């Protein structure tokens, strides 16, 4: 912020309008405000601060009402105007305080409200500033907008831009919280607060998620009525033990069933072994019978070919044997299916017998159906009564609604009638006041005209007074010019006389008389040091004196004329004020009263014209009230008749309800009961039919099973016959394919293909013999000691064992399902516990980070304050550079290592390094002059660093009020050197001081001169 122009009027010691243009000061960079004590030097800074914020530079200098000049007459306004620049944008703020001033007429005071306006400016082509649009209006709105534009509030402005008199140490010794607020605005560090908030929100989100997971864990544990994973593990272990016991029982039953199955298989195997032994014996006998034939065929190709044929015979025999075994298996299956069909047929016959025993239940249902059918006429009468009752109830409700509407209509008509009568009365009253209002309006018009005329005369008086002031200043200038011309003429004449005396003295001779005094002694003759002035020069001086005298006379006449004009206007104003009295300053109120009276007069005239219409409206509403009352009486009679009919219908309905059970009175209840009875009858009949159908189907199934069993038996017999036939053929061919010895074989060798074929036949024969012998040995070994088995008994025992096993397996399935559910629950619990542990770990980190960022750390420094601390370090580096220069290398500023008060957040407290002692100490221990230098260095360093960072507030001006008087000459020189160096950075620095040395060192000075009519301001030179 850079000030451009400051205007004060009626403010503090400045009664007359005083204007300060800072253009020259901005170019010079440094200026001094000087003047006698009490002249009003600090009031300039008060005006600048008041224009921006509505407050002065210090709490002890007062606010609003105290800034008004005590010299100001009632007609003098108090106002401060400040033109300033923020960057490249120009603004003008205009502010007046609220104050009590004496009334211009009469006794007492009147309240003048506070006013404030902020507008944007632009430069006209001629360079002048002109308005470019309003920005804000009203004291609060303007202050808020100023704070947004400048980037700090009034307290921060006092500590950063102003170093007020007696308060320069506040910025230096401010606590961390105060300094944080200043740096936040200057460096726009709000985003770091947002990071702090985001960290807190993240930690809170983790905490809420952890609580949600804990709630889910408790809900899962609650499913089993436990409170911990350990208790759930106990429940799971008990279920697992129960499952293990059931598994053990099932395993025992399974072994029993397996034993029964093995016994059945053993019985079947015994039967098979006996049959197989017989078959093996027969097969081996057949093969051994073929040995001689095979021996004979080795020498002949025919025998080899027979051996090949024998191979096909053996294959057919094996096929027959497999078919026989398959037929035996199908026969066994058919036997089992026949047993199941027989059991199902027996069960169907038992079900049919059970259904035949329920005939009595069907008879009872038929009787109930007949009873329910008999209730139909009674229900019909009850329904008719209820319908009639409903109709009457609806009619009564309509009548009640009509009655309510009639009452409402009567109330509305009554209210409208009352309003019409009131409007008629008011209109009549206002119409009667019409003439008085017209007279009052005429009186107010004359009074407003007089007040306006008084205002014009006051303006003329002010213009005349300003002109008188200008003429008086011109008169003073004319007097000064006359005195200067007189002094010049007197000096010329004195020089001429001195020259004449010297000329005469040059003619004197010792002992000769002087032509002037006649003395013959000449002890001190006159001597001429300058040349004699020319006569023309003296004549010109006389002309200039005459001209100055003429100008003085003209100025005196002009002042006299202006005084006469001022006195005449003042007399007119006093006369008008005496005539108007207290109303002289109430122009706006009188005009508002005039507008009100005129409006009332116009309304009275309109009311007079509306009286007839209002009378007609009153009569219409009176008729409406009478009609509403008649309608209400009619509806009331109808309602009473309907209430009597409704009571009679209610009695009839209650009589009908007594004849019908309560459960059947509802609509559709009887039909529902009949339907239920019909469904039950139908279910009985359907069950009987299904039982009969089951018996029939079971009989058919049994018949099919018997047929299948017989067919399987026959098929098994045929397969046995085929097997025996194949065995017979094989035995016959083996006998034909016997071989004697190797010689016969060698003698029988043929071509390779034939020999290979013959060798295959021989090999097949030998294998068949070996296999037959092995089968016989195995069958004989297996069948040794085997008696004829009881296959049917073993099958019955197996069925019983399987039934017991199925029951246990069903219970085992339920236990397994429970254990699986508990397994899944334990996994869910473990997963949730792991998630909770993970969240705890994450929260431990995120929470610590959030707490640290929020200042819950040993240093009690927030994240934003940490960033501000880094920025403050940069400020202190820049400030210390200047402070070292001003203190000759003794002092430097730095941040305190720990907060002075552990109960409050620190991080931004300051201390000073003393090079003489080598120890840091609090800034509050600095002397007055040292504290002033440190405060000045801090303010300048802050301005440097703020401008170095983008996004912050630009500090283009600094004002220092006093403080230099506490410096010794050497420190003063150093401080001035630092301030003078600021001109290179384009910064404006204003210094207020009465120290004489500053007037000698600072060429641009603003002089404040006190006077009985208020202080005045002017630039020196």
What region does 691 belong to: left with phi over 0, alpha with psi -120 to 50, or beta?
Answer: alpha
pLDDT by residue (tens digit) across 833-875? 888 888 888 878 877 887 777 777 777 777 777 888 888 888 8
Say whether 30 sits in a helix, a strand or coil: strand
By the 10 Å C-beta count (0-12 exposed, 13-18 middle, 19+ buried), 596 is classed as: middle
Run of H or E including 251: helix 229-289
In this predicted structure, the answer to whether residue 391 has a pLDDT above a threshold of 50 is yes
In this predicted structure, the answer to whether residue 132 has a pLDDT above a threshold of 80 is yes
State the maximum Cα–Cα separation within the chain, in Å, rounded to a whole number.
Answer: 214
Tokens of 82: 């400040």
In this predicted structure, the answer to whether residue 441 has a pLDDT above a threshold of 90 is no
- Single out the residue of 128, 44, 56 nearest to residue 90, CA to CA: 128
Higher-confidence position of 951 and 4: 4
- The winner for highest mean pLDDT among 393-407, 474-488, 586-600, 819-833 is 474-488
H helix count then E strand count, the chain: 23, 18
CA dist list (Å): 306 to 296, 314, 752: 11, 12, 17
Tokens of 826: 């334990």
Strands in 129-137's sheet, in edge-to-edge order, are 18-21, 2-9, 79-86, 89-96, 115-123, 129-137
- DSSP string for 901-968: STTS--S--EEEEETTTTEEEEGGGS-HHHHHHHHHHHHHHHHHHHHHSTTS----EEEEES-GGGS-
Query: Mean per-residue pLDDT for 663-677?
Result: 70
Q: Domain 2-151 has what CATH class?
A: alpha beta
Tokens of 529: 């040091």
Beta carbons of 292 and 738 less than 8 angstroms apart:
yes
In this predicted structure, the answer to whether residue 742 has a pLDDT above a threshold of 50 is no
CA dihedral 725, 727, 733, 739 (to 10 degrees): -170
In this predicted structure, the answer to whether residue 882 has a pLDDT above a threshold of 90 is no
pLDDT by residue (tens digit) across 82-121? 999 988 899 999 999 988 777 666 677 778 889 999 999 9
Q: How confident is the model at residue 1015 (pLDDT cuts 50, 70, 90)?
A: very high
- Single out the residue of 956, 967, 894, 908 nearest to residue 933, CA to CA: 967
- Within 10 A of 881 (CB to CB), how many other CB atoms are there? 15
CA dist list (Å): 635 to 394, 409, 638, 900: 15, 13, 5, 89
Per-residue pLDDT at 94: 95
Cα 994–Cα 68–Cα 84 angle in degrees, nearest 5: 70
In this predicted structure, the answer to whether residue 431 has a pLDDT above a threshold of 60 is yes
Query: Mean per-residue pLDDT for 911-925?
Result: 88
SS3 content of the chain, % helix, strand, coil (to 5): 70, 10, 20
Please give the Cα distance from 654 to 299 (Å, whole number): 124
Beta carbons of 93 and 84 less than 8 angstroms apart:
yes
pLDDT by residue (tens digit) across 229-275? 788 788 888 888 887 887 888 888 888 888 888 788 878 877 777 78
Please give the Cα distance from 659 to 680 (Å, whole number): 26
Q: Can you say how many angstroms the Cα of residue 954 is from the centroid of all Cα atoms in its chain?
A: 32
Please give the Cα distance from 217 to 212 (Å, whole number): 9
Q: How confident is the model at residue 455 (pLDDT cuts 50, 70, 90)?
A: confident
Say whether 133 sits in a helix, a strand or coil: strand
In this predicted structure, the answer to whether residue 50 has a pLDDT above a threshold of 90 is yes
pLDDT by residue (tens digit) across 215-228? 887 887 887 788 88
- Single out the residue of 166, 159, 167 nearest to residue 185, CA to CA: 159
- Single out the residue of 695, 772, 669 nearest to residue 730, CA to CA: 772
Q: Which residues of 544-577 are buried (b: 16+ CB within 10 A; e: fewer)?
A: bbeebeebbeebeebbeebeebbeebeebbeebb
Cα 35–Cα 41–Cα 46 angle in degrees, nearest 5: 175
Q: How confident is the model at residue 25 (pLDDT cuts 50, 70, 90)?
A: confident
Ramachandran angles phi, psi of 3, nearest 5°? -70, 145
Tokens of 315: 């294959």
Run of H or E including 625: helix 587-658
Beta carbons of 277 and 780 less than 8 angstroms apart:
yes
In this predicted structure, the answer to whether residue 829 has a pLDDT above a threshold of 50 is yes
Please give the Cα distance from 610 to 665 (Å, whole number): 68
- DSSP string for 256-280: HHHHHHHHHHHHHHHHHHHHHHHHH
pLDDT by residue (tens digit) across 161-177? 776 555 556 667 777 77
CA dist list (Å): 780 to 723, 776, 791: 20, 6, 21
Higher-confidence position of 676 and 32: 32
Q: Which residues of 469-498 are buried (b: 16+ CB within 10 A; e: fewer)?
A: eebeebbeebeebbeebeebbeebeebbeb
Average pLDDT, the chain: 78
DSSP state of 108: S
Percent of the chain predicted with pLDDT > 90:
8
Say whether 519 sits in a helix, a strand or coil: coil
- Domain boundary assignment for the chain: 2-151, 199-305+751-854
- Single out the residue of 673, 661, 660, 682 nearest to residue 369, CA to CA: 673
Q: Collect all residues with Cβ–Cβ distance below 8 Å to 164 and sequence separation of at least 6.
A: 42, 45, 57, 58, 158, 961
Please give the Cα distance from 927 to 581 (Å, whole number): 60
Please give the Cα distance from 851 to 202 (Å, whole number): 11
According to DSSP, the β-strands at 89-96 and 79-86 are antiparallel
DSSP state of 76: -
Rg (CA), the chain: 66
In this predicted structure, the answer to whether residue 430 has a pLDDT above a threshold of 70 is no
- The residue to which tokens 């096993």 are assigned: 805
- Single out the residue of 989, 886, 979, 883 nearest to residue 937, CA to CA: 883
């Amino acid at each position: 912020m850079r000030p451009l122009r400051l205007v004060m009027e009626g403010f503090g010691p400045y009664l007359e309008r005083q204007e300060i243009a800072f253009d020259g000061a901005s170019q010079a960079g440094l200026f001094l405000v000087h003047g006698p004590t009490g002249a009003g030097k600090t009031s300039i800074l008060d005006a600048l601060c008041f224009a921006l914020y509505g407050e002065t530079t210090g709490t002890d200098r007062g606010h609003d009402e105290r800034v008004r000049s005590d010299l100001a007459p009632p007609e003098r306004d108090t106002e401060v105007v400040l033109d300033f620049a923020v960057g490249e944008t120009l603004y003008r703020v205009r502010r007046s305080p609220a104050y009590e001033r004496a009334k211009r007429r009469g006794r007492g005071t009147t309240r003048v409200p506070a006013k404030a306006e902020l507008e944007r400016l632009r430069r006209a082509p001629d360079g002048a500033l002109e308005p470019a649009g309003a920005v804000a209006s009203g004291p609060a709105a303007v202050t808020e907008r100023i704070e947004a534009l400048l980037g700090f509030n009034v307290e921060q402005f006092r500590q950063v831009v102003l170093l007020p008199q007696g308060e320069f140490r506040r910025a230096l010794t401010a606590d961390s919280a105060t300094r944080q607020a200043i740096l936040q605005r200057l460096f726009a560090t709000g985003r770091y607060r947002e990071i702090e908030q985001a960290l807190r929100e993240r930690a809170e989100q983790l905490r809420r998620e952890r609580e949600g997971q804990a709630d889910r864990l408790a809900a899962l544990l609650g499913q089993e009525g436990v409170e911990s994973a350990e208790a759930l593990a106990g429940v799971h272990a008990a279920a697992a033990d129960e499952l293990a016991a059931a598994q053990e029982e099932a395993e025992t039953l399974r072994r029993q069933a397996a034993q029964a199955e093995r016994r059945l298989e053993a019985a079947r195997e015994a039967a098979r072994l006996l049959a197989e032994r017989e078959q093996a014996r027969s097969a081996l006998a057949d093969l051994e019978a073929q040995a001689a034939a095979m021996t004979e065929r080795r020498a002949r190709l025919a025998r080899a070919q027979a051996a090949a044929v024998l191979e096909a015979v053996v294959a057919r025999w094996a096929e027959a044997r497999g078919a026989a075994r398959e037929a035996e298996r199908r026969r066994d299956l058919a036997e089992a299916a026949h047993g199941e069909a027989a059991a199902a047929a027996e069960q169907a016959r038992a079900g049919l017998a059970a259904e035949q025993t329920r005939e009595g239940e069907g008879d009872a249902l038929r009787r109930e159906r007949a009873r329910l059918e008999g209730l139909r006429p009674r229900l019909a009468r009850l329904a008719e009564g209820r319908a009639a009752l409903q109709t009457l109830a609806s009619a009564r409700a309509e009548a009640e609604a009509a009655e309510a509407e009639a009452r409402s209509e009567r109330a509305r008509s009554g209210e409208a009638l009352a309003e019409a009568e009131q409007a008629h009365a008011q209109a009549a009253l206002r119409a009667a006041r019409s003439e008085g209002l017209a007279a009052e309006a005429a009186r107010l018009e004359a009074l407003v005209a007089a007040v306006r005329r008084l205002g014009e005369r006051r303006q003329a008086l002010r213009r005349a007074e300003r002109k008188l002031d200008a003429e008086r200043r011109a008169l003073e200038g004319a007097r000064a010019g006359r005195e200067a011309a007189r002094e010049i003429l007197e000096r010329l004449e004195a020089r001429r006389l001195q020259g004449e005396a010297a000329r005469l003295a040059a003619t004197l001779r010792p002992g000769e008389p002087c032509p002037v005094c006649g003395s013959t002694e000449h002890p001190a003759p006159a001597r001429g040091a300058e040349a004699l002035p020319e006569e023309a020069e003296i004549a010109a001086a006389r002309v200039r004196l005459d001209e100055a005298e003429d100008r003085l006379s003209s100025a005196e006449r002009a002042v006299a004329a202006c005084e006469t004009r001022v006195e005449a206007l003042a007399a007119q104003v006093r006369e008008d004020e005496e005539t108007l009295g207290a109303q002289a300053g109430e122009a706006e109120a009188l005009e508002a009263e005039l507008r009100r009276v005129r409006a009332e007069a116009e309304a009275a005239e309109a009311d007079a014209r509306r009286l007839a219409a209002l009378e007609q409206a009153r009569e219409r509403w009176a008729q409406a009230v009478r009609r509403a009352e008649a309608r209400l009486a009619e509806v009331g009679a109808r309602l009473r008749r309907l209430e009597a009919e409704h009571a009679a219908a209610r009695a009839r309905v209650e009589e009908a309800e007594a004849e019908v059970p309560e459960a059947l009175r509802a609509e559709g209840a009887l039909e529902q009961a009949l339907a239920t009875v019909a469904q039950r009858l139908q279910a009985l009949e359907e069950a009987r039919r299904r039982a009969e159908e089951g018996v029939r189907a079971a009989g058919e199934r049994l018949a099919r099973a018997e047929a299948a069993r017989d067919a399987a038996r026959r098929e098994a017999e045929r397969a046995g016959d085929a097997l025996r036939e194949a065995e017979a053929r094989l035995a016959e061919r083996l006998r034909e394919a016997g071989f004697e010895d190797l010689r016969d074989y060698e003698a029988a060798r043929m071509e390779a293909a034939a020999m290979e074929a013959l060798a295959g036949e021989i090999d097949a024969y030998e294998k068949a013999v070996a296999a037959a012998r092995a089968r016989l040995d195995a069958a004989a070994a297996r069948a040794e000691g085997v008696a004829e088995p009881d296959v049917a008994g073993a099958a019955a025992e197996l069925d019983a064992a399987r039934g017991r096993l199925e029951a246990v397996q069903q219970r085992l399935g339920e236990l397994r399902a429970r254990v699986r559910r508990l397994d899944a629950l334990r996994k869910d619990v473990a997963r949730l516990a792991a998630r909770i542990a993970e969240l705890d770990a994450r929260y431990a980190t995120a929470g610590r980070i959030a707490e640290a960022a929020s200042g819950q750390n040993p240093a009690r420094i927030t994240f934003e304050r940490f960033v501000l601390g880094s920025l403050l370090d940069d400020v202190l580096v820049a400030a210390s550079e200047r402070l070292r220069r001003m203190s000759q290398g003794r002092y430097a500023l730095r941040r305190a290592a720990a907060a002075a008060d552990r109960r409050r957040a620190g991080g931004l407290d300051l201390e000073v390094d003393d090079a003489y002692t080598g120890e840091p100490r609090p800034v509050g221990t600095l002397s007055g002059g040292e504290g002033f230098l440190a405060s000045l260095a801090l303010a300048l360093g802050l301005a440097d660093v703020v401008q170095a960072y983008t996004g912050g507030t630009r500090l283009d001006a600094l004002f220092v009020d006093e403080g230099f008087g506490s410096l010794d000459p050497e420190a003063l020189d150093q401080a001035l050197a630092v301030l003078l160096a600021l001109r290179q950075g384009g910064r404006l620095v204003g210094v207020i001081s009465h120290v004489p040395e500053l007037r000698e060192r600072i060429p641009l000075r603003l002089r404040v001169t006190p006077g009985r009519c208020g202080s005045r301001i002017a630039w020196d030179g």
